[in-house]
Amino acid sequence: MDVQPMGALPEAVNTLSPAPPALTGTVRRRISEGAIAGALFLCAAVSILTTAGIIGVLVFEAFEFLRAVPLADFLLGRVWTPLFDPPSFGVLPLVAGTTIVSVTAMLIALPVGLLAAIYLSEYAGRNTRRVLKPLLEILAGVPTVVYGYFALTFVTPLLRQVWPQAQVFNALSAGIVMGVMIIPLVSSLGEDAMSAVPNALREAAYGLGATKLDVTLRTVVPAALSGIVAAFILAISRAIGETMIVLIAAGQSTTLQFNPLKAMETMTAYIARVSLGDNPQQSTEFKTIFAVGMLLFIMTFVLNLISQRVLAKYRQVYQ
Amino acid sequence: MTVLTPVLSTPPLVGADADGHAAFDVRDLKFWYGPAPALKDITLQIPARQITAIIGPSGCGKSTFIRCFNRMNELVPGARVEGQILFHGQNLYAPAVDPVEVRRRIGMVFQKPNPFPQSIYDNIAYGPRLNGFKGNMDEFVERSLRQAVLWDEVKDKLRQNAYTLSGGQQQRLCIARALAVEPDAILMDEPCSALDPIATLKIEELMHELAVNYTIIIVTHNMQQAARVSDITAMMMLVDDHRTGTVIEVGETQTIFTRPKDKRTEDYVTGRFG
């Protein structure tokens, strides 16, 4: 480049430069930006309004139900015979059914899902992972009605060979199959969380003489804990809310008992059965489904709240 | 401090252990990530309880080379090593050698500070806990932090997350964490590349203090840093159509920077090179 002597600026600088263009944007651009923001807001609003609508209906109908049945009778009663005469509205048998089926499912899905996630993220080679992960996710795409009949026609006969006293409809079979159904959800989300842990942390651990197991259990899993717990919570919510498998395979007994080899009805299965039945819409019998639904909603909601508290306390934030 | 023994044939290497071995004795090392060799024909000795700098242009394999000393390269799929690295006379690549044990004896500090997302205390305690440490952990953590000249800055916040520290403090924490495993040697892969000049200076002072007891190898792209901190300098270059890295010259740092034998070293250290 030529060096100019001081004071002698290049020609172009000395001539008057044209005024810079105005910085005000066009009206059209502002309107279109506004329209886009508005459209996006509407899309977000649809889901929020739907949720609000569902909660509104639930609360309203559940309140109507509670005008006919005292809250204590509903929550603490041990007999659930709303369709009998005289009816009894104690919800505990349904809560027990939901709990036992969900706990069975979690006993399968959480450990197997977490171990599968650890294998996929830390132990599997790149090619193995490329094949295995989509295969596992296919499991998640199987319709739940298929799982239901799988439980009833395949798993239950097996269980009855081991425990001949098991009933044709039983909670164990439904719980096991539900657990299998939820494995891919846990493993896939868990693997995502562990893969997101920076490699620098793994190297740090290896550099200190950690074995692969040390690296996984002392570094990767703790660093990915928030994602793993989130996967667990989602899995539990999924189990509590799952309907079709239990409707088909778990039976409809509403006797309060805790033997998983016997038939049980879960809250969701009850709702599905009664809503399809021919009870008049305004009857207290029919309104039970809203009360049960409300209770189900509160249960998952509280679960989510607890998990958020736990997460806020234990999560490890890495850069 | 150390005695020159006749076992070491190359004159500038004065650091030898009690048995007369160099800390590291690299013999005809070759390394592959895939089909093409990334390193070849590396033969040199690294003295005990001194600082050895590895310098050279970007991409010449300095980091790959330093990772051969604690077998970190094996974590990369497809990596392959030929040749030997004797560590106080023992071949690190002998079949019976467990890389986990190697890494407990030879610590490493990385380019970017990489503390665990845990408390300062737990970061230091990580290594001792791996080894089933039974003694007084509080004392041990304090000792490690003092060794890394970090104690006074963090003694009141040991339970805070390590990420609350500045970058320079994090790097010294990583050094303290490596020291807590009680290694014999420490590898530093561009430990100051993410730090400001003042933090860099502190790390360099720390290295001088540590070199009394530890064998230190440092990779640096900063020639001034190599000149300031190291006793021995190894110069690396790409050869074979710029595909394979090798050490082209090694010697006392002062010699390398003032009277290098190789023209390429001279061009590099005087700044005339790419």
> How would DSSP label each residue in B197-247?
HHHHHHHHHHHHHHTTTSEEEEE-S-HHHHHHH-SEEEEEEEETTTTEEEE
pLDDT in tens, A87-105: 888 999 999 999 999 999 9
Residue B100 contacts A, CB cutoff 8 Å = yes
Please provide the size of chain A in residues. Answer: 319
Residues in chain B: 274
Please write the tens of the pLDDT for every residue from A268-308. Answer: 999 998 888 777 878 888 889 999 999 999 998 888 888 88
Q: Write the pLDDT tens digit of every residue in A114-127.
A: 999 999 999 998 88
Query: Do A51 and A58 contact (CB within 8 A), yes or no?
Result: no
Nearest-CB residue to A208 (from B75, B103, B112) = B103
Q: How far apart are CA A96 and CA A255, in angstroms?
A: 10
Q: Which of A300, A107, A316 has its CA nearest to residue A193?
A: A316
What are the DSSP calls for B126-140, one per residue? HHHHHTT--S-HHHH
Establish if A206 touches chain B: CB-CB under 8 angstroms.
yes
The answer as to whether B56 is a domain residue is yes
Distance CA B58, CA B223 (A): 12
CB A212, CB A187: distance < 8 Å: no
* Closest residue in B to A199 (Cα–Cα): B114
Bond prior to A86 in cis (omega within 30° of 0): yes
pLDDT interval class at A318 (50, 70, 90): low
In whole angstroms, what is the distance from residue A165 CA to residue A159 CA? Answer: 9
CA–CA dist A81, B41 (Å, integer): 85
B176 and B145 Cβ atoms separated by less than 8 Å? yes
Alpha-carbon distance B231 to nearest alpha carbon in chain A (angstroms): 25
Share of chain A above pLDDT 70, in %: 93
B155 occurs within a structural domain: no
CA B29 from centroid of its chain's CA atoms: 17
- Has residue B17 been placed in a domain? no
Show residues of chain A in contact with B117, CB under 8 Å: 201, 222-223, 316-318
Q: Is residue B116 part of a domain?
A: no
Q: Which residues of B fall within a CB distance of 8 Å from A198?
A: 114
Which chain B residues contact residue A206 at CB under 8 A?
72, 75, 103
Structure tokens belonging to residue A314: 């234990």
Residue at B31: amino acid letter = F
pLDDT of residue B17: 64
User: What is the average pLDDT score of chain A?
Assistant: 88
The per-residue pLDDT for B11 is 39
The interface pTM score, or ipTM, of the predicted complex is 0.88
In a domain, B31, yes or no: yes
Q: Smallest CA–CA separation between A160 and chain B, in Å?
A: 47
**CA distance linking residue A193 with residue A264, whole number of Å:** 36
Beta strands B185-189 and B106-109 are parallel
What is the Cα gyration radius of chain B?
18
**What's the pLDDT at B8?**
38
Q: Is residue B47 part of a domain?
A: yes
Q: Do B103 and A319 touch (CB under 8 A)?
A: no
Closest listed residue to residue B231, CA positions, set B249, B213, B217 = B217
Q: Is B92 on the interface with A (CB under 8 A)?
A: no
Give residue A251's pLDDT.
87
Tell me whether A298 touches chain B (CB under 8 Å).
Answer: no
The whole-angstrom distance between B263's CA and the closest CA on chain A is: 32
Domain range for residue B57? 24-111+185-269
Query: The CATH number of the domain where B96 resides is what?
Result: 3.40.50.300
pTM of the model: 0.81
For the beta carbon of residue B24, count every other beta carbon within 10 angstroms. Answer: 22
Question: By the CB < 8 Å criterion, does B71 face chain A?
Answer: no
pLDDT in tens, A10-65: 555 556 677 777 777 778 888 888 999 999 999 999 999 999 999 999 999 999 99
Q: How many domains does chain B have?
A: 1
Interchain contact B120–A (C-beta under 8 A):
no
Section A208-234 average pLDDT? 91
Question: Is B141 a domain residue?
Answer: no
Under a CB-based contact definition with an 8 Å cutoff, are residues A121 and A195 in contact? Answer: yes
Q: In angstroms, rounded to a whole number, what is the distance separating the alpha carbons of residues A83 and A96?
A: 19
Nearest by CB to residue B103, choosing from A126, A209, A318, is: A209
| Cβ pair A228, A314 in contact under 8 A | no
Q: Tally A–B CB contacts below 8 A.
A: 72
* Per-residue pLDDT of chain B in tens (274 residues, 90 and over written 9): 444 443 433 433 455 666 667 889 999 999 998 888 899 999 999 999 999 999 999 889 999 999 999 999 988 888 999 999 999 989 999 999 999 999 999 999 999 999 999 999 999 999 999 988 888 999 999 999 998 889 999 999 999 999 999 999 999 999 999 999 999 999 999 999 888 888 899 899 999 999 999 999 999 988 889 999 999 999 999 988 778 999 999 999 999 999 999 999 999 988 876 4
The dihedral built from the CA positions of residue A252, A255, A257 and A259, taken in this order, carries a sign that is: negative
Q: Which uninterrupted H or E stretch holds B143?
A: helix B137-147
DSSP label of B106: E
